[in-house]
């Protein structure tokens, strides 16, 4: 495994591309009011698969970071605190932006573009990613995936001592149980439905940590792909397998623009529906045509990247520093 603290270049590149692909999907295919010719809509048809890339990355990076940090089960509370401090400040800042935007939309007709009914209870439930358990909508279309991620963290901190054991039988048992949960659970709002995707990343961690050889890794990833075909689709399975193999074996080139995109990927993921989505809603009310649509899409992308860069500098990067200062008690 790379030296402690080293950036994993392939992971960073995949993060950035996944965030951009999800953004493009929301601007095009998922946008029912998209003006212009149909091929604009088709261009983002598979962008939603970036979510599965994120889940594979989390399945790899969480046990990787726990092992590097000297994590033990008695550090479970510290682990959760580190994740909350790392992820919640940008998340809460984006919620504040949404509420400000909704307040403006209620007063400025030109900014109107949402029919969401916002309640105090619904907003407060966001503080614990609890909307998944109650009949209150998410304020942002991507927030449901953050709830899945946090549910995975709750599980990952508990099972990491088994995932990191040298006993192949113990590790295999976790993988088999995860596959059963994924197969038996059809509720997409809960992590059990997605467990096999996360665990495809976890077996790559075991490979990078020297617990698995190439043949065993290939077998487990293939098994994860087969289970994912039944629990999701062949398209999702192909992305899961490809992502896992890329992290395991490939060092993707990372020119400066891709490194930057990887750095701001979380902020971009949070901000693109707020900024780019609003621009594309405005575009739907303007004269249509391929040139105009291309210009609006370019504006949506540019504005989303700018907003993400601002959120990264002002909130996310400080949160990263705060989180890194929390050390596990067994760490050297």
pTM: 0.93
Answer yes or no: are the C-beta atoms of 90 and 308 closer than 8 Å: no
Domain-wise residue ranges, the chain = 9-324
Averaged in consecutive runs of 10 residues, what is the pLDDT profile of the chain (332 residues)?
60 97 95 78 93 98 94 96 97 95 71 63 94 92 97 96 84 87 87 95 94 93 95 97 96 92 98 94 78 91 98 98 90 51
Which tokens go with 17? Answer: 């591309």
- Whole-number Cα distances in Å, 52 to 79, 188, 215, 253: 23, 13, 24, 21
Helix (H, G, I), strand (E, B) or coil at 128: helix
Look at residues 230, 306, 324 and name the one whose alpha carbon lies nearest to residue 268: 306
What's the pLDDT score for residue 284? 77
Answer yes or no: are the C-beta atoms of 90 and 315 closer than 8 Å: yes
What's the pLDDT score for residue 320? 96
What's the pLDDT score for residue 221? 96
What's the pLDDT score for residue 38? 79
Helices (H), the chain: 9-27, 38-42, 50-68, 76-105, 120-125, 143-163, 168-184, 195-208, 214-231, 234-249, 256-263, 265-271, 276-283, 290-311, 317-324
What's the pLDDT score for residue 108? 64
């Amino acid at each position: 495994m790379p030296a402690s603290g080293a950036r994993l270049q392939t992971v960073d590149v995949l993060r950035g591309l996944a965030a951009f692909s999800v953004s493009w999907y929301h601007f095009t295919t998922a946008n029912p009011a998209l003006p212009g010719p149909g091929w604009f809509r088709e261009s983002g048809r598979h962008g939603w698969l970036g979510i599965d890339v994120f889940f594979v990355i989390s399945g790899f990076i969480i046990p990787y970071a726990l092992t590097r940090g000297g994590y033990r089960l008695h550090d479970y509370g510290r682990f959760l605190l580190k994740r909350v401090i790392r992820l919640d400040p940008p998340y809460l800042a984006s919620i504040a932006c949404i509420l400000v935007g909704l307040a403006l939309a209620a007063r400025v007709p030109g900014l109107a573009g949402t029919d969401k009914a916002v309640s105090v209870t619904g907003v407060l439930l966001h503080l614990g990613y609890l909307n998944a358990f109650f009949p209150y909508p998410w304020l942002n279309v991507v927030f449901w995936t953050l709830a899945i991620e946090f549910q995975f963290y709750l599980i990952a901190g508990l099972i990491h001592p088994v995932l990191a054991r040298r006993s192949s039988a113990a590790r295999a048992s976790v993988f088999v149980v995860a596959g059963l949960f994924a197969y038996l659970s059809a509720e997409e709002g809960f992590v059990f439905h997605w467990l096999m995707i996360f665990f495809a990343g976890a077996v790559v961690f075991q490979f990078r940590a020297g617990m698995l050889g190439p043949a065993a890794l290939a077998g487990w990833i293939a098994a994860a792909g087969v289970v994912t075909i039944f629990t999701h689709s062949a398209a999702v399975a192909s992305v899961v397998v490809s992502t896992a193999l890329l992290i395991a074996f490939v060092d993707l080139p990372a020119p400066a623009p891709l490194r930057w995109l990887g750095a701001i990927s979380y902020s971009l993921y949070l901000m693109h529906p707020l900024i780019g989505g609003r621009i594309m809603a405005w575009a739907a009310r303007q004269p249509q045509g391929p040139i105009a649509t291309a210009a609006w899409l370019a504006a949506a992308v540019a504005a989303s990247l700018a907003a993400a860069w601002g959120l990264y500098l002002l909130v996310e990067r400080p949160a990263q520093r705060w989180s890194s200062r929390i050390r596990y008690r067994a760490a050297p």
